Amino acid sequence: MRNLEKDELEMAARREAMLTEGFRLFSEKGIEAVSMQEVASACGVGVATLYRYYNTKAALAIAISQRQWERYAAYVRARQREAHVESLTAAERLAFYLDFYIELYQDHSAMLRFNQSFNNYVRHEGVTREQMEPYMAAIGGFAEMFHELYEQGRRDGTLRTEIPEEKMFASTLHIMLAVVVRYAQGLLYSADDDSDRMEELRLLKRMILKEYLTG
């Protein structure tokens, strides 16, 4: 008789290895450049086993992206609690959130490289909206966080809420994320000294705040 608990633990460990090694390889080389056989070999399993867990490379990439953003969202929520964001003004909360983009570049460059490769891959492969639902659910929490600070800005008057929420969120997200991704990939010119890149990101943060704060 099989030990079901042991089987479940082995399956969980195998899935963890697939997600971990898949992330490492995809972030280093790009998703399109990595085969499922390469991921399977890195995990120490046969490619048929990998396909039993994830029947396409797109499914594996989506699962990895979902896990990465869920973990980062949990980290942000923990930092929110530590910083007592409920006691901050909306302007202070916006500055707090912009710092996370800078931190992504500083401490999570592999995640940024993976995310850029992921965006390109799902467009190229024609991945459907239905297939993307787990990923969209994982990143949806960030829009909710922004909505909360925007509504607070409407109440406390520290944000320019005559600017539509969607425009403010999209431009903030796209500008900051685009720049930190390009830096993580080495695609934007900057001095060799990383401290210079950090100062450029802080300058960008100040420019965004100047655009959206009332004071």
In the chain, how many domains are there? 2
- 115 and 51: one domain? no
Q: What is the structure's pLDDT at 1?
A: 47
18 and 72 together in one domain: no
Q: Are residues 128 and 197 in the same domain?
A: yes
Full domain range(s) for residue 194: 59-212
pLDDT of residue 99: 94
| Stated pTM of the model | 0.87
How far is it, in rounded angstroms, from Cα 19 to Cα 25?
A: 10
73 shares a domain with 140: yes
- 206: tokens are 């100040």
- Identify the CA nearest to 98 among candidates 207, 197, 215, 193: 207
Question: Which CATH number goes with the domain that contains 22?
Answer: 1.10.10.60
Q: Do residue 118 and residue 146 come from a single domain?
A: yes
Is 51 found in the same domain as 67? no
Same domain, 126 and 194: yes
Q: How far is CA 146 from the centre of its chain?
A: 15
Length of the chain (residues): 215
**Claim to verify: residue 129 and residue 170 sit in the same structural domain:** yes
Here the CATH number for the domain that contains residue 166 is: 1.10.357
- Mean pLDDT of residues grouped by 10 in the chain (215 residues)? 74 95 97 97 96 96 96 92 93 94 92 93 94 91 91 96 93 88 74 74 94 92
Name 102's Cβ contacts closer than 8 Å, sequence gap at least 6.
Answer: 180, 198, 201, 202, 205
Last-in-domain residue among 35, 55, 75: 55
If asked whether residues 48 and 77 sit together in one domain, one would say: no
Mark whether 32 and 66 lie in a shared domain: no
Whether residue 2 is found in the same domain as residue 94: no
42-66 as b/e: b if 16+ CB within 10 A: bbebeeeebeebbeebbebbbbbbb
Q: Are residues 87 and 121 in the same domain?
A: yes
Task: Decide: 113 and 29 in contact? Cβ < 8 Å.
Answer: no
Q: Hey, what are 1's tokens?
A: 């008789």
